[in-house]
Structure 1
Amino acid sequence: MSSEIADCVRRNLRRYFRDLDGQTPHALYDMLLKTMELPLLEVVMEQAEGKQTVAAEILGISRGTLRRMLQDHHLL
């Protein structure tokens, strides 16, 4: 399963670089993390049926960290 996710990321990054058409990307690491964080939180919270403790366990982070992330994305 994780190889499927990695393949998806690779395909999309290759498309991103192709679409840049020679322009130099900046701060790609932060951009990628910020871009994927919201959909990750949305899907995990859905899978956890809104239970933050369960979602935090799925993500492997503390409940407090999850709450901060949810607040940052206006999901609380």
Structure 2
Amino acid sequence: MDNVFLLTGIAFILIGFILIVVGSLTTGNAKVAVGGFIGPIPFGFGNDPGLLRIVIIISAVTMLIFVLALLR
């Protein structure tokens, strides 16, 4: 089971790198937003307010799911 998660994570990282390379080669006007966690706190940054709002919402929902899973 752990092998599946490891391979899935590596696949997501590789797909992300490929998408970034393809995106940088095809267009010059890109909108970017990135989010994640530092400990239990979600964060996000980007150059488009709409995308940033979506990233923060997804991060907050993910944090809520983790908190609810820990309380069970």
The TM-score range, normalised by the shorter chain, is 0.3 to 0.5
TM-score scaled by structure 2?
0.36
Bigger share in helix: 1
Bigger share in strand: 2
More relative contact order, 1 or 2 (CA 8 Å, 6+ apart):
2
